[in-house]
């Protein structure tokens, strides 16, 4: 073995042969490894958004709008700060819990419960998107927030808000569709025929990531 050349063939042919050779670095299903790598790249995208938000917030000379007041809801004549955001956070955490259990039941080959829990997760995701639509409407129509300015303070507030929550909301929407498709396939027995429920876990990874990103958005955008 020691006399084997560094590459199989000289030049790029050897590189291609090596890179496409039948070697496995991660002992997990390929779909799971690919999902992790996709999520890693997504981490960088969201981090770029949050970093640019940090940058514009640090560099603006106008005061940053008070998020506790901007995102307050009036309940019974009282302004409760960040109430809607708190509810949205709880809904997303709940959906992560149902998803984790769906993965568990999937590996137990419990077709019905897996599908039920996944549809519940998708429904909670839909609920989250609905509340986000309500929040956007409130901000755009009633508070006059625009990507280029707003009546409450720093103009950069609007562009940061729409970019960050918009991209996250898009991920949730995509996730709802993704989960619905996988859940339907669970119900139809597709994964029983395929012989593995790993797709449920892979979809779960995506969904937990969406929840994970929200943890950071909640901390940095809404609470900071």
Partner 1 sequence: MVSGMAVRQHDIPATDLSADHSPTHAAAHGTHAEGQQHPIKLYLLIWGLLFVFSAFSYMVDYFRLQGALRWTLIIVFMLIKASFIVAIFMHMAWERLALKLAILVPPLALLILIGLMAIEGDYTFLTRVASFVK
Closest distance to partner 1 from the beta carbon of 187 (Å): 19
Position 149 contacts partner 1 (CB under 8 A): no
Closest distance to partner 1 from the beta carbon of 44 (Å): 7
Position 63 contacts partner 1 (CB under 8 A): no
> Residue 81 is encoded by which pair of tokens?
């700060």
> Of the candidates 68, 36, 213, 200, which has an alpha carbon nearest to the alpha carbon of residue 128?
213
Q: Could you tell me where the DSSP H helices lie in the chain?
A: 12-19, 30-59, 67-70, 83-107, 111-137, 156-187, 190-194, 198-217
- Give the x-and-dash track for 87-116 against partner 1 (CB under 8 A): --xx--xx-xx-xxx-xx--xx--------
**Contact status, residue 140 vs residue 157, Cβ threshold 8 Å:** no
Rounded CA separation 164/158 (Å): 10
Closest distance to partner 1 from the beta carbon of 195 (Å): 7
Position 187 contacts partner 1 (CB under 8 A): no
Position 84 contacts partner 1 (CB under 8 A): no
Which one among 139, 197, 203, 221 touches partner 1, defined by CB under 8 A? Answer: 197
Is the Cα dihedral 157, 163, 166, 168 positive or negative?
negative
Strand, coil or helix: what is 210?
Answer: helix
> Of the candidates 125, 141, 138, which has an alpha carbon nearest to the alpha carbon of residue 208?
125
Site for partner 1 in 20-39 (CB under 8 A): 24-29, 32-33, 36-37, 39
What is the binding site for partner 1 (CB under 8 A)?
Answer: 1-2, 24-29, 32-33, 36-37, 39-40, 43-44, 47-48, 51-52, 54-61, 68, 81-82, 86, 89-90, 93-94, 96-97, 99-101, 103-104, 107-108, 195-198, 201, 204-205, 208-209, 211-212, 215-216, 218-220, 222-224
């Amino acid at each position: 073995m020691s006399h084997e050349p560094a590459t199989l063939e000289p030049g790029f042919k050897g590189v291609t042969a090596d890179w496409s050779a039948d070697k496995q670095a991660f002992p997990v299903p390929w779909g799971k490894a690919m999902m992790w790598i996709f999520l890693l790249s997504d981490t960088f995208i969201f981090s770029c958004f949050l970093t640019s938000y940090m940058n514009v917030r640090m560099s603006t000379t106008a005061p940053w709008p008070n998020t506790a007041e901007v995102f307050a809801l009036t309940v019974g004549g009282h302004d409760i700060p960040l109430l809607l955001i708190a509810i949205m956070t709880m809904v997303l955490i709940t959906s992560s819990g149902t998803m984790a259990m769906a993965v568990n039941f999937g590996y137990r080959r419990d077709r019905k419960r897996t599908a039920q829990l996944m549809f519940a997760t998708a429904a909670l995701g839909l609920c989250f998107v609905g509340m986000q639509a309500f929040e956007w409407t409130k901000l755009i129509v009633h508070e006059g927030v625009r990507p280029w300015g707003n009546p409450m303070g720093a103009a950069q507030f609007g562009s940061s808000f729409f970019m960050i929550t918009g991209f996250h909301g898009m991920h949730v929407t995509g996730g709802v569709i993704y989960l619905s498709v996988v859940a339907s396939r669970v119900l139809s027995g597709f994964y029983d025929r395929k012989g593995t429920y790993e797709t449920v876990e892979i979809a779960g990874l995506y969904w937990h990531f969406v929840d994970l990103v929200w943890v950071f958005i909640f901390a940095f955008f809404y609470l900071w």
